[in-house]
Structure 1
Amino acid sequence: MILVIGFGFLAVYLLMLNANSGEKNNAFVRKIKDPKLKVLHMFEFPDKTFEFSPGSGSKIKLNRYADKLNLYEIDYGLTKLDTIVIRYPILFNSKAVNIYKDIFQSTVLCTNLYGDILKSSGTQSEVLKLTSFTFDRFKAISPHTIIARGRYPHGKNDNRSITKISITDSVKLEKEYVLPNLANGIFANEGHLYYDRENARVFYMYYYRGEFLSLDTNLNLLYKSKTIDTVLTADITTKVKTDVKENKRVIMQTKPPKVVNAFITADKNQIYIRSRLKADNDTELKFADNSVIDTYDSTTGKYRNSFYLPRYRGIKVSDFQVKGDTLLAIYGKYLVKYSMDEH
């Protein structure tokens, strides 16, 4: 049996923030536009472990790594942070290292790597079990359906899939979109899963090669799109090590992978991707002082233009969302709301 070991979610997260990708010549150029960003409001979180949660509504939904059990929300004026307390029945293993959470309308959905699935709406909660399939991050597309980033054994390696799972009286795997079987399997296919609720589109962006996918909610592929960079394959090397104690062979990465694109979000008819690569027309100073956001047409996947998102108090952005003429960005423990010209 071969166990596949990566650097873990937290390591990948930190790598995306800190990797040095400022090569002098990457053989592509950007079409830079100025979104005329203006700071409207700022809120200081109690720590640096917050990220946006996909939940929509009258308030901004947030996850917090320092509190794996609950969700958070804040008003769009950034005045008051509230905790959305989630009560876990005894059948759900809340001591799991990672608990993945999302909220759709008034329904909260939580999962862990033990296959526990919690569906909670108001005073009613139920726990279901899925033991035949492993997945981690997911997005709720309805109160009863999720799209998840799956993991399954493939030969001597593991691989990734995007999977539709229905959660009613039982749990059912509705459909699976299998990512390409590459030499470094699960490592080469690591990526960011995003659901565009407004347009009912699923996006999957690879971290280590310049490509993203667009699928409908039945996981039919709408298109594959190449990002503006020239990276076609993931720069990943692995080795097999024997774990004598566990009597297993373990596949490990021999060095941290090079991040090409860090994360993806969408609004209206546009996709926003934070690139980690310097274009030939990005000056060293501009690239060092800003994060570069590349935009694409969400219908076709074609590149449109790019803009610079500046540091805030010396910190580069760790997560962001766009809502019309508003951009929300997290910099460490600071949440900043900008006005911007629509792109």
Structure 2
Amino acid sequence: MKIAPPYREYIIQIVCYLYIILFTYAAVSKLLDFENFQVQLGQSPLLAAFAGFVSIVVPSLELLIVTTLVIPRFKLSGLYASFSLMTMFSAYIFIILNYSSSIPCSCGGILEKMDWKQHLWFNIFFVIIAGIAITLSSLDDKKFKIKNLTARILLCIALSSGLVIGLYASSKQMLQYHNSFIRVFPRMAAEKDQQIDLKYNSFYFAGTSDAEIYLGNYTTPLKVIEFDRDLKKTKSYQITLDRQDLPFQSVQISILSKDFIVYDGSVSCIYIGTTDNWKAQLKFRGDTFISSAEPLDSNTIVFRGLKTSTLTSNLGKYTIRPESFVHNDSLLQKQNDGIFDSDGMLHFDVTSNRIVYIYRYRNQFFSTDKNLQLISRGNTIDTISKAQIKIAKIVNRNQQKMSAPPLVVNKSSTVYHNLLFINSLIMGRFEPEDMWKDASIIDVYDLTNGSYKCSFYIYSEGNEKLRSFRVEGNTLYALVGNALVAYKLSPEITHNYK
């Protein structure tokens, strides 16, 4: 059916007006709420690596297109630009809906009220009417050929979609391996499931077994609280030591399945027992200061200790039968004093048979096998590669102490299967400051290749933030203030288990 020229011009003008209204509204909304727009771009896996650039280019392009649509001689160019930009927006949302779980950027205002499937159909509608307007405008061209017009439209679709796909692939690669410290937050990555009021904030995670979670308590150091995985049933146990005449100062418990150890680094002693009877025997008494220790099995313990001959920290392995000590001095890398600068968190994950160490004051971690042979080293996504600490030496006491509060990079951590979970204290780009007041950030890494996977929030309870946590299966258990809270992890996290 042919359309008379006056009506063609009328339709073209309506399409131009619709685009002028849409792009003006969208651009102004983005600019008025620019910080929020930039934050949401920064949380998108598709555009996160380019969020700073894109947050300026998109509203600028929208306003530029509005200008071309207003000027008659540039109207057709403006329609092609409108068609291409809306195709890009449509491709963006299609990828978000089908290949990502992250929240897309907002166009602001009433468009933000749509769900993303509605938004996709809204965009497709504008792509179609732009295509109609381009076709009607081309009919006045004496050299008009339908195949040439079709080729130009298909080229616009291919280039626009290809650009978005290219940005997605590049951004994903940059975020995983060349991160400029931009976090990606999947939707509903961790959802609160259960919560128990412990009454006190002196509890810590002592360990796990096949079906139980164990908590120790700093104020009653030989008492253990057992919870089932659903936090429905609870029991308490009292550990009995065969020798209690040592000058204990800082007793800690670490449990692995049915085996557990009791150690006090300042006294340099290690007891070993079993959960069958909760009795422990003294197996080691020496002069090595032990800051952390983990059982590998009923006969072997890995620990971080202070080597007295060099006054530096190292990792070691203690075997009971036959008794032996093995140290690996090359694992902990000295930057300053060799003690505080290498402080960190020691983990053993039975599911992967890895020993994992995360530095507290810098963006580094490494993993070893059970014989303390290095498997890999990796970096967290923040940029703190050197421990920012100040050390003062007290000569008359032959001591070293921190002379100023250090910059803590990694507060707490845990390992499950091939994934490393870290509670980071360093704010990334495009992150709302209000969230840092109300929640704690957990970053997730794949130990098999050192790549960053994603991040998620653990919300505070009252004014209390996350103290420590453990992951078992699809559940994250968190100690927040006086509460023990269980969060269900979404498939966006658990599908990374290997």
Distance 1:212-1:36 versus aligned 2 partners, 3 A rule: closer
Residue number in structure 1 paired with 2:290: 135
User: For the pair shown, which has the larger CA radius of gyration, 1 or 2?
Assistant: 2
Q: Secondary structure at the match of 1:259?
A: coil
1:99 to 2:251 alignment: yes
Tell me the residue number matched to 1:324: 473
Tell me which amino acid in the other structure corresponds to 1:144. N
Alignment-mate amino acid for residue 140 of structure 1:
P
Cα contact 2:192–2:487 (8 A) shared by 1: yes
Label 1:280 to 1:271 Cα distance change in 2 as closer, same or farther (>3 A): same
After superposition, the C-alpha distances for 1:32-60 in whole angstroms (9 at most, x for unaligned) are 22234332211111311111122322111
State the alpha-carbon separation in 1 of the partners of residues 399 and 224 from structure 2. 35
SS at the partner of 2:302?
Answer: strand
Counterpart position of 1:261? 410
Residue 187 of structure 2 is matched in structure 1 by 34
**2:450 aligned with 1:281:** no
Stretch of structure 1 that moved more, 75-84 or 261-270: 75-84
1:86 maps to 2:239: yes
Unmatched tracts of structure 1, length 5 or more = 1-25
Deviations 1:265-322 (A, max 9, x none): 1223311111100001111112222111111112122111111222223321111122
Partners of 2:402 and 2:249 lie apart in 1 by 22
Which deviates the most, 178-187 or 136-145? Answer: 178-187
C-alpha distance in 1 between matches for 2:462 and 2:287: 47
**CA distance in 2 between partners of 1:132 and 1:255 (Å):** 29
Distance in 2 between the 1:38 and 1:182 partners?
39
Name the CA shift for 1:226/1:154 in 2 (closer, same or farther; >3 Å).
Answer: farther
Alpha-carbon distance in 1 for matches of 2:245, 2:307: 22
Q: Percent identity?
A: 26
Q: Which residue number corresponds to residue 108 of structure 1? A: 260
Q: Check conservation: 2:470, 2:478, Cα contact below 8 A.
A: yes
Give the RMSD, CA atoms, in angstroms. Answer: 2.1
SS of the residue 1:299 aligns to: coil
The equivalences for 1:222-237 within 5 A come to: 222-237=375-390
Asked if structure 1 preserves the Cα contact closer than 8 Å seen for 2:441 and 2:455, the reply is yes
**Stretches of 4+ moved more than 3 A in 1?**
92-95, 121-126
Render the CA deviation track for 1:1-56: whole Å, top value 9, x for unaligned.
Answer: xxxxxxxxxxxxxxxxxxxxxxxxx9621122223433221111131111112232
Counterpart-to-counterpart distance in 1, 2:298 and 2:320? 8
Instruction: Note if 1:53 corresponds to 2:223.
Output: no
Q: Structure 2: where are the runs of 5+ without partners?
A: 1-178, 494-498
CA separation of 1:93 and 1:203: change in aligned 2, threshold 3 A? farther
TM-score by length of 1: 0.84
Name the SS of the counterpart of 2:401 in structure 1. strand
1:190 is aligned to 2:190: no
Q: Distance in 1 between matches of 2:256 and 2:476?
A: 22
Deviations 1:105-143 (A, max 9, x none): 333322223333222234675322342533231111101
Letter in structure 1 aligned against 2:409: V
Q: Which has the higher strand share?
A: 1
- In 2, the alpha carbon distance for the partners of 1:284 and 1:54 equals 33
State how far apart, in whole Å, the 2-side matches of 1:172 and 1:215 are: 19
Q: Does residue 238 of the first structure (1) align with residue 387 of the second (2)? A: no
- Answer yes or no: is the 8 Å Cα contact 2:304–2:346 preserved in 1: yes
For residues 145-192 of structure 1, give each alpha carbon's deviation from its aligned partner in whole angstroms, at most 9, with x where no partner exists.
01101111355xx21111111123x64203434412332210100001
Return the alpha-carbon distance in structure 2 between the equivalents of residues 209 and 75 of structure 1.
Answer: 35
Q: TM-score, normalised by structure 2?
A: 0.59
CA deviation digits over 1:222-260, x for unaligned, max 9? 1110110011100111122244xxxx3322211011101
Comparing both structures, which one devotes a greater share of its residues to helix? 2
* 1:8 match: none
Q: Is the 8 A contact 1:72 1:84 kept in 2?
A: yes
Residue 152 (structure 1) aligned with residue 304 (structure 2)? no
Q: Does residue 1:62 correspond to 2:215, yes or no?
A: yes
Change (3 A) 1:36 1:135: closer
Check conservation: 2:216, 2:252, Cα contact below 8 A.
no
Aligned pair count reads: 310
Asked if the contact 1:29–1:279 (Cα under 8 Å) also holds between the matched residues in 2, the reply is yes
Q: CA deviation at 1:94?
A: 5.3
Tell me if structure 2 keeps the 8 A contact 1:99–1:110: yes
